[in-house]
Structure 1
Amino acid sequence: MTVELDTGWNLRSVMASRGIFQTSKLKPLLEERGIDLSREQVYRLVTQPPQRVRLDVLAALCDALECSLDDLVTITRREVTAPVAVGEEATRGSIGDLRPVRAAIRRPRTK
């Protein structure tokens, strides 16, 4: 069984709950807190889930929007079972249970 983590980026909905509907309104709020991002970077931060975010940017977002990190990022944990191959049900075990079988070479009988 493996665990998969799904993350959600909720910056746009947090902004909307605070009455901020344009990405251009977020840029000055970040600049007041010492974060200098380009207009394009702010737009991508709002519209696309980022792969990486600096901690100072997260702190500035939380301070500017008066929210917590839990409001911006949601993490959902799922346990996933590995699919079972056909015929594998009976041989289910560890890899140590598998042992090679010695091959027997048989020569044809000659008269």
Structure 2
Amino acid sequence: MKWNLRLAAANRGIWKASELQRMLAERGMVISAGKMSGLWSGQPNSVRLDELDVICAVLGCGVQELLLPEPDSVPAPEADDQQRKAAGQPPSVAPSVAPRPRSGRSLPPR
């Protein structure tokens, strides 16, 4: 997914992150300068759904304008074993699963 806040804001005449931050604060969404920088730059660490609601309400847009799908960036699925054999490739080996010890817990009684 591509985050498209800056373009959505520009389409509504909002050119500065500080201006959008003030508008969001008026709607009850007070965020730090660091979080606003991430939202504005196109690389947010996370966006909660309630924050997305406020952003959409302030900009008067839908989620589809803020989040643009990028299906070409999704890796293709690996071929299954039968397709591999037909192509002359060795079958894939499933990774072995090993239990991990949990620290601070005792073992169950025997």
Q: Which category describes the TM-score, using the shorter chain as reference length?
A: 0.5 to 0.7
Aligned to 1:62: 56
Name the CA distance, whole Å, in 1 between partners of 2:40 and 2:89: 50
**Aligned equivalent of 2:34, options 5, 28, 40:** 40
Name the CA distance, whole Å, in 1 between partners of 2:92 and 2:56: 48
The structure richer in strand per residue is 1
Aligned to 1:51: 45
C-alpha distance 22-82 of structure 1, shift in aligned 2 (>3 A) = same
Secondary structure of the corresponding residue to residue 67 of structure 1: coil
**Aligned equivalent of 2:69, options 57, 66, 75:** 75
TM-score by length of 2: 0.65
C-alpha distance 93-48 of structure 1, shift in aligned 2 (>3 A) = same
Aligned to 1:8: 2
Task: Tell me by how many angstroms 1:27 deviates.
Answer: 1.1
Task: Tell me by how many angstroms 1:90 deviates.
Answer: 2.2
Q: Structure 2, unaligned stretches of length 5 or more?
A: 80-84, 94-110
User: Percentage identity across aligned positions?
Assistant: 32
Q: Which letter maps to 1:90? A: G
Q: How does 1:64-103 map to 2 (within 5 A)?
A: 64-78=58-72, 80=76, 82=78, 89-91=87-89
Counting matched residue pairs gives 86
For the aligned residues, what is the CA RMSD?
A: 2.6
Task: Tell me by how many angstroms 1:93 deviates.
Answer: 5.9
The structure richer in helix per residue is 2
